[in-house]
C-alpha cells in the first residue's frame, strides 16, 4: 500500500531531458486529478498536466481507430467515384452502339462497388432472441445448482 501525501513528489527521474537544471517531479493531488509534471530549466519552472498511462493508451487506441476508419472511408469513396465514372463511360459506349465495351465497363463498375461494399465498417455480432434466452436459461440453471449445493453443504452461511 503506498502512501499519498499532497504535494510530495512520488516519482523522480520520469523524464530524461538534456539541459534540465533539476530532475522532473511528478506530483499527484489525489486519485481523481491527473498528475502534474514539474520541470525546472535554468531559472524557469514549467508545469505540465500529465496523463495516466492507461488513459494515454486508450487515447492512442481511439486515435488509431479513427485513422483506420478515415482511411477506409476514403478508399470506399474513391472506389465509388471510380465506379460512377465507369458507369458513365458505359452509358456513353452504349449510346455510341458499342455494347461489348458497355458490358465490360459495367462489370468493372460492379467490381468497384463490391470492393466498396466490402470496405464498410464491420457489423457487430448480434445474438438472436432465441440464443439470448438460451444463454440466460443456462446461466439461471447454473446459478440454481450452485445455490442448491451451497444450501445442502455444511456451509456456515445460511
> For the chain, which residues make up each domain, given as ranges?
9-50, 53-148
Residue carrying C-alpha cell 465495351: 101
3-state secondary structure of 36: strand
d(CA 122, CA 137): 29
Q: What is the Cα–Cα distance from 60 to 117, expressed in whole angstroms? A: 28
**Cα–Cα distances in Å, from 1 out to 9, 25, 57, 71, 97?**
17, 21, 25, 46, 83
**Torsion, Cα of 57, 59, 61, 67 (10° steps):** -150
User: Splitting the chain (158 residues) into consecutive groups of 10 residues, what average pLDDT does each group show?
Assistant: 41 42 72 78 80 70 88 88 84 82 82 74 61 82 85 68
- Residue 26 and residue 9 in contact, taking contact as beta carbons nearer than 8 Å: yes
Whole-number pLDDT of residue 16:
42
Measure the CA–CA gap between 36 and 133, rounded to whole angstroms.
Answer: 49
Contacts of 37 (CB under 8 A, 6+ apart): 14, 15, 24, 25, 26, 27, 47, 48, 49, 50
Which pLDDT value is given to residue 128?
Answer: 74
Cell numbers at 25, concatenated: 517531479
Amino acid at each position: 500500500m503506498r502512501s499519498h501525501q499532497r504535494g510530495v513528489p512520488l516519482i523522480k527521474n520520469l523524464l530524461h531531458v538534456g539541459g534540465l537544471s533539476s530532475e522532473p517531479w511528478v506530483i499527484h493531488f489525489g486519485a481523481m486529478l491527473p498528475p502534474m509534471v514539474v520541470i525546472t530549466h535554468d531559472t524557469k519552472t514549467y508545469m505540465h498536466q500529465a496523463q495516466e498511462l492507461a488513459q494515454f493508451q486508450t487515447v492512442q487506441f481511439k486515435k488509431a481507430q479513427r485513422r483506420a476508419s478515415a482511411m477506409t472511408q476514403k478508399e470506399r469513396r474513391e472506389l465509388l467515384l471510380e465506379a460512377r465514372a465507369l458507369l458513365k463511360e458505359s452509358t456513353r459506349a452504349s449510346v455510341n452502339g458499342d455494347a461489348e465495351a458497355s458490358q465490360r465497363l459495367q462489370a468493372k463498375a460492379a467490381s468497384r462497388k463490391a470492393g466498396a461494399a466490402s470496405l464498410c465498417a464491420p457489423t457487430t455480432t448480434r445474438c438472436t432472441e432465441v440464443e439470448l434466452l438460451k444463454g440466460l436459461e443456462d446461466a439461471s440453471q447454473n446459478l440454481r445448482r450452485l445455490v442448491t449445493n451451497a444450501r445442502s453443504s455444511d456451509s456456515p452461511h445460511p
